[in-house]
Structure 1
Amino acid sequence: MEELVAFDAILFPVEGSPRIFPLMTSANTVLDPVTGQRRTTRTPHPELYMSLSHNAGWVCQRIDSLYGMNRSLSNPYLIFYPARQRSGAAPPVNTCIQEIQGRGFREQTAWRGDVVVAKYRNVESGDIISCSASDFPLVKNYFALHYPQQ
């Protein structure tokens, strides 16, 4: 049986307050095409914490920098959110992020469904690290000024 390991991540639920929670990950062995060596990475499972309909997937969006920064973040974030369903039905608007956006909120490009944010040491290699309360202001700053990729 595959061992699940948890890392602290941030959950922005559809309704309610954001909170830190244990994001489950599973081991994933990959072969490095350059060196030929096997390397173990962690695959996150944000779908366990999202209210997804049957066969609905999720999308991820990378946070490399924030408004006004001239350097990339040393530890980037990945945002996981529900994908639009094939039927065209959209998940409910995330009221938690809507409150963060305030007057900048736009219904047509709103963050929808439960949104999970994970922190990485290196996104390419899958090195997940735990979030802490100090990550909230950075992530909230991003949500205040950015919308999901369409």
Structure 2
Amino acid sequence: MKVPQPDSAYLLFVDEKGMARKVSLSAGPDEICLILPKNRVTPFLFFAGEADTRPFGSVYPYDTASDKAGGFTAFILYRLFICSQNDSQTIYERIRYFNWAKLKAAVSVYEEPWALDDVLIAEKIAEGTFNSRHIKKKVQ
């Protein structure tokens, strides 16, 4: 009888071409070395397995240590990259100048940042109209 193995951990990030990349972390390294363009805003999402919906993460180059608030912030950035395939240059200019460190600090005050409305936050960043009033919990 074959015993099912637990889901393996993996890293999800956006490469220099704007493409999503998945790297297996089954060996469980403490550090990962990737070559990226200098100062390119990049989301890093660390998933414990395929069933994980609330990854830890960070937004490079503003942060290199991953945590819960960083995962939420990186997920918003990842969503913006993925949803902007037809208008990647415009969205890249917006995300490049967006204050990701300030957003992470703002969501860090919440015990569970994943309860916040990530769709609203991403939409407002994409429109270029985001402000702190848009950080609110999801409507149930």
Looking at secondary structure, tell me which structure has more helix per residue: 2
Looking at secondary structure, tell me which structure has more strand per residue: 1
Q: Which has the higher contact order (CA 8 A, sep 6+)?
A: 1
* TM-score, with structure 2 as normaliser: 0.25
* TM-score, with structure 1 as normaliser: 0.24
